[in-house]
Structure 1
Amino acid sequence: MGRNRTRTDPDRYLTIRQGNYHYKRRVPVTIAHLDERAPHVRASLKTDDRTLARGKRDLLEAADDALWASLITKGVTDPARRRYEAAVKRVEALDFTFHGATYFEEPEAFNDLMDRIRHVLASGQEDRIADPLLGAVEVPDTKVSDAFDIYCNEIVADELIGKSQVQKDQWKKVKRRAINNFIKLNGDIAMEEIGIDHAKKVYRHWLGRIAPKEGSSTAGASSGNRDLGNMRVLYEAYFKYQGDARRDNPFEGLGFSLKKKRSRPPIPTEWIRDTMMKPGNLATLNDEARGILLILIETGARPSEICNLEPHAIRLSNKVPHLSIEPREDPANPREIKTESSRRLVPLVGVALAAAERHKTGFPRYRNRENELSATLNHFLRANSLLPTKAHTVYSFRHSFEDRMKEAGLDDELRRLLMGHTVDRPKYGSGGSLDWRRRELMKIALPFDQSIV
C-alpha cells in the first residue's frame, strides 16, 4: 500500500504499522529547508479502520497543503492565516477542537488541557503537535468582510445547500447589508477589535432613523433589529468557530422595541371579484404572470411557490386536481421552501383550476425569478389602479385568502394547513382528504368569466 501517490489514489500517504494506519508524506524538496519535519511528515492515525483513516488523512493532507503554500508564497498571500488553518486541520485530525491560548486560561478548560498534554506526551511528537494542540499557534486577525465570507462559505455552508441561487443571493443580500452598514460606520476593522463602542455606533445610526429628534421616522424598528441581529449572529458564530465561544458579544442586548408589527392589509373580496377579475382588466398582463396571479387568488400560496412549480407538481389528472407545494430536490437546481410546514397539497378550484389547466407545465418564464415576478405584478397592478391602496401588494392576496376562509367558517386547522402555517399540536393523520379540502374551498370560490384566463 502507498506506492501510488496520485490525488486519485484513495489510499495515498497511508501506511500500516503494527496494525494501525499512519500518515506518511514527503516534504517537497523546494521547501524542505523550511519545514523542520523534512524529509518526511509522519503521524499515527490511531485507527485500524480504513475509512476513518482516510478521513483523518484528508485533514492532515489539507493542513500540509496549506502550510507548504504559505512557505512557498512567503507572505504574497497571508502566511499567518495559512499556518493557522493548517493548525486547525491538524488538531481536528487528532480528534480535538482547535482553541486559542486564551481558552486554556479558563478554569473550565483544565480537564481538556490535561487530556491534550497527555496526548502530546504519549505521541512522542511533542515538537510537531504540541503548539497547535495547546493553542500556541497565533490566531490571525480577520477583517469583518473576510469573517462574513468565512461565515457563508464554511460556518453555515450546509444551510445553503438546499437553496436555489436566487434564494442564496437573497439570503446573503439581507445579511450583507448589515456588514456593509457596519463597515461604513466603523471601517473594515478586525473582528478582534470590535467593542461596545462600535456596536453602539450601529445602534445610534438606526436610532437616528427610527426615532429622530426632529422630523419623521425614515425606517422601522425591524430594519434596525435585523442589522444588529445579523452582526450579533456573525460575531457569535465566528468566534465560536475559532474556538472562542466564551467571548462577550458587544451586540448582545442592543435592539429596538417592536410596538406594532407592520402587516400587509388584505384585499377586500368585493374588490377582487368586481375589479381585479373584471374581464379586460388583466388582459395586457403577460400570459404567465396573469396565470400565476389567478392561481394566487384561490390558493393563498406565496408567489414564489407558484412560479417555481415543476410540471409534476401540477396534478390535474388526479381525482382531485391539486398543487403539490414542495422543495425542489434536484442537486443541480435545488430550491427550498420557507418551512417544513409549507410542504402541502392544495386543491384547485374556481379560477385557479382554469389557470392551471392553461399552464400545465408551469411557468418557465418566472422559474427561479420570483423577484422579477413580484416586481412585474406589483408594477402592473399599481399602474392599472388594480390595488385598493398604496399599502396593498401582490402578497395581500394571501392575506385575503386567509380572511375569506375564516369568514366562511373553515376549520382553523385546515386553514393553517392550506396556508402552510404550523399546526400547534402533534400531527395525526393527513389533515383530511383532498376531496374534503376541495369541498371546503368551494365555499369561498369566486365566480369568474372564462375570458380572464
Structure 2
Amino acid sequence: MSNIPQNQFEYKDRSARQYFAMARQYGSYLQERDGWYQFLFTIPKEQRARFGGKRQIRKSLGTKDRRQAIIKLSPLVEQYTMLTQAADAGELTFERTKEAAGYLGFAYRPAQDFQTMAVQESVAMVSQALTARDLVAKPNAIERAALGGAVEIPELPVSKLYARFKEVDPGRVKNKTPEKARKAWKRYETKINEFVKVMGDLDCLKLTRRTVKEYRNKLIERVHNGEFKSAAANEHLEKMRTAWRVVMDHDYEDLNLTDPFDKVEGIDFKDGGKREDFTEEEARQIRSRLESPDVNEELKALFLIAQNTGCTADELVYMTPEDIVLDHEVPHIKIRPNANRAELKNGHRPRNVPLIGVALEAARKHPNGFPRYCKPYGPDYVSEEAATIIKPVCDKSFYSYRHRIVTLMRNSDCKDQFQNAIMGHATTGMTGYYGGPVWLKKLEEALRNALPDDA
C-alpha cells in the first residue's frame, strides 16, 4: 500500500480508515495480475514439508476492486497464519481440536454424531472435511483428530451450568447494586440446583425435549400438590431454559445442538392472583402499633410514607436528600436512579409522588433520607422488621401498601393516567407531561380524593 499516494484520498468515515489500515497490514499478502487480485502467502522454510514442499500459497480473490480484495484477504491471512503456527500440535484436547477444525474451515463434530445426522447433513460435513484435508499435506495429530471426529465433546453436567452461565453472561446484572445482582444470580442458581435434585446431574449437551417435558410434568405435579403456584413452577423452567441457551450459544454454537426447550410450553394455570392490599381497618391498626417505643423512628416514617404513596421499601430506603422535595408548592418525593441505585424495576417506575398527611409529616422529620436502611440489605431489613409489626394484625407484607393505594384510587374518581403516574405504571402519552408542576398538583388532588380523612 506504500506505493499509493494517500494524500490524494479524502476519507473521513471509519470504514475508509480501516481500509487503509488493513491495506498496510496485508500489503505483503496481496498481488495484482492482469488487474485481478490474488492472495499470496510465503510458507516459512522450516514448515514447507508440512505443506507438501510448497514455498508459497497463491489463491485468486476473484475481484479487481482493491477494497474488496482486502476484505476477502483478511480471513485467508488469519487461516494460514494459524496453520503455520500450528505445526507443533501440543496436547490433544477438545478445545484444541475444535480450534483446529475452525482454522481448517469447518465446524467440529465428533464421529458418533454422524450416526444420527440426516444423510444430506452428513454428506455436507464430510465434504467440508475433505476440502480442509487439501490445506496441509501432513496434518498434525490434533488436525487429524479434528478431520476424523476422534475427540468426544466433554460433558457439561447441569451442576456446573450455573457457574459457566454466570461467567459468560456478566452483563445480565449490569447496573444492579451488588445486593440485587446477588439476588438475581441466586434465583438462577437455586432453580438449576433444583433441576439436578429432581432429574439428576445430566449432561447439558445431551438434554432432550423428552427430558425437559418430563421435568415440566414434575413441576406441574408439585403445583397440583400445593407446593408452589404455577408462576413459581414456570420460573423453575424458564431460569433453566435461559442458562442452557446462553451457555450453549456461547460455548457450543458450532455444534448446532437441538434446543431441548424449544416448543416446550410454559406453565400458567392462572392461579397466581395478586398480593392482597391492606384494608383501612388493618392500616389503622398497624398505624397504632407504630406508636410503640420499640419501633425506631426511621421505620415508622417508612411505614407512614408508604401508607400514603404506595412506594415500596426498595424505592424509599435509597432516596437521597435531593429526592425529598419539601420546599415546593406540592411537597413530593422523587423515585429515580441516583447515587444509591443505578436503576429501578422498569422504565416507568421513575416518578414524582406528592406527600400528603402523615407521609408529609414523616418526610419533614427525615429530610435527609433513611441512613439506617440505605445499605445493600436495607430493603430486606425493612421487610423483616415490618413483619413483626404487621403479622399480629394480618398475614400480609409491607408491599400491601402499594396495592392499598391502587384499590383506593380505583374506587375514587381518579383518572387512570393519574393512578399510573403515582404507581409508576405505563400510560400512553404521559411521558411528555410527567412530573411537571401542574401535573403534580393534579396528582396531589387525586391522592387527596382517594385517601381516607385520617390518613
* TM-score band w.r.t. shorter chain: 0.5 to 0.7
Superposition CA RMSD, Å: 4.9
* Structure 2 spans left out of the alignment, 5+ residues: 1-20, 28-49, 51-65, 68-74
CA contact (8 A) 1:99 1:134 kept: no
Q: Which residue of 1 aligns with 2:425?
A: 421
- Gap change, CA 1:296 and 1:126, over 3 Å in 2: farther
1:5-58 CA deviation, whole Å, 9 max, x = no partner?
xxxxxxxxxxx8961279xxxxxxxxxxxxx9xxxxxxxxxx99xxxxxxx9xx
What is the identity, as a one-letter code, of the residue corresponding to 1:163? K
- Gap change, CA 1:428 and 1:81, over 3 Å in 2: same
Question: Do structure 1's residue 292 and structure 2's residue 306 form an aligned pair?
Answer: no
Question: Do structure 1's residue 186 and structure 2's residue 214 form an aligned pair?
Answer: no
Larger radius of gyration: 2
CA contact (8 A) 2:209 2:262 kept: yes
Distance 2:148 2:426 in 1: 45
Question: Do structure 1's residue 160 and structure 2's residue 173 form an aligned pair?
Answer: yes
Q: Which residue of 2 aligns with 1:437?
A: 443
After superposition, residues 398-409 of structure 1 pair within 5 angstroms as: 398-409=402-413
Distance 1:148 1:81 in 2: 20
Q: Which residue of 1 aligns with 2:8?
A: none
CA contact (8 A) 1:288 1:365 kept: yes
Question: Do structure 1's residue 148 and structure 2's residue 162 form an aligned pair?
Answer: yes
Q: Which residue of 1 aligns with 2:272?
A: 261
Question: Do structure 1's residue 220 and structure 2's residue 229 form an aligned pair?
Answer: yes
Q: Which residue of 1 aligns with 2:364?
A: 357
Distance 2:381 2:315 in 1: 14
Q: Which residue of 2 aligns with 1:28?
A: none
Distance 2:398 2:137 in 1: 66
Describe the SS at the equivalent of 2:352. Answer: strand
- The number of residue pairs the alignment matches comes to 376
- Gap change, CA 1:251 and 1:365, over 3 Å in 2: farther
Q: Which residue of 2 aligns with 1:32?
A: none
CA contact (8 A) 1:228 1:251 kept: no
CA contact (8 A) 1:232 1:251 kept: no
1:197-234 CA deviation, whole Å, 9 max, x = no partner?
5324433432332224xxxx232222221111222222
Alignment partner for residue 327 of structure 2, among 295, 317, 327? 317
Question: Do structure 1's residue 209 and structure 2's residue 222 form an aligned pair?
Answer: yes
CA contact (8 A) 1:416 1:422 kept: yes
Q: Which residue of 2 aligns with 1:235?
A: 244
Distance 2:304 2:164 in 1: 43
Alignment partner for residue 304 of structure 1, among 296, 304, 314? 314
Distance 1:125 1:284 in 2: 84
Note the C-alpha offset of 1:397: 0.8
Distance 1:289 1:408 in 2: 29
Describe the SS at the equivalent of 2:288. Answer: coil
Note the C-alpha offset of 1:262: 2.6
Distance 2:298 2:96 in 1: 51
1:285-311 CA deviation, whole Å, 9 max, x = no partner?
222222211111111112211112223
Note the C-alpha offset of 1:106: 8.6
TM-score when normalising by structure 1: 0.67
1:328-368 CA deviation, whole Å, 9 max, x = no partner?
4x5xx754211111111112222112212222222222222
- Gap change, CA 1:354 and 1:399, over 3 Å in 2: same
What is the identity, as a one-letter code, of the residue corresponding to 2:179? V
CA contact (8 A) 2:306 2:359 kept: yes
Distance 1:344 1:133 in 2: 58
Distance 1:434 1:107 in 2: 69
Question: Do structure 1's residue 342 and structure 2's residue 349 form an aligned pair?
Answer: yes
CA contact (8 A) 1:344 1:417 kept: yes
After superposition, residues 89-100 of structure 1 pair within 5 angstroms as: 100=108
- Gap change, CA 1:346 and 1:17, over 3 Å in 2: closer
- Gap change, CA 1:340 and 1:18, over 3 Å in 2: closer
- Gap change, CA 1:361 and 1:428, over 3 Å in 2: closer
Note the C-alpha offset of 1:120: 8.7
* Structure 1 spans left out of the alignment, 5+ residues: 1-15, 23-35, 37-46, 49-55
CA contact (8 A) 1:276 1:282 kept: no
CA contact (8 A) 1:239 1:245 kept: no
Q: Which residue of 2 aligns with 1:19?
A: 24
What is the identity, as a one-letter code, of the residue corresponding to 2:296? N
Distance 1:301 1:159 in 2: 26
Note the C-alpha offset of 1:374: 1.1
Distance 1:351 1:17 in 2: 69
What is the identity, as a one-letter code, of the residue corresponding to 1:429? G
Describe the SS at the equivalent of 2:353. Answer: strand
CA contact (8 A) 1:100 1:138 kept: no
Distance 1:87 1:296 in 2: 61
- Gap change, CA 1:427 and 1:404, over 3 Å in 2: closer
Q: Which residue of 2 aligns with 1:29?
A: none
CA contact (8 A) 1:342 1:421 kept: yes
Distance 2:333 2:148 in 1: 55
Describe the SS at the equivalent of 1:413. Answer: helix
- Gap change, CA 1:284 and 1:188, over 3 Å in 2: same
- Gap change, CA 1:275 and 1:240, over 3 Å in 2: same
1:115-151 CA deviation, whole Å, 9 max, x = no partner?
x99x999x99997999999997975432223332232
Distance 2:411 2:256 in 1: 51
Q: Which residue of 2 aligns with 1:412?
A: 416
Alignment partner for residue 373 of structure 2, among 366, 377, 396? 366
Describe the SS at the equivalent of 1:364. Answer: coil
Runs of 4+ in structure 1 deviating by more than 6 angstroms, as ranges, are 105-110, 123-138
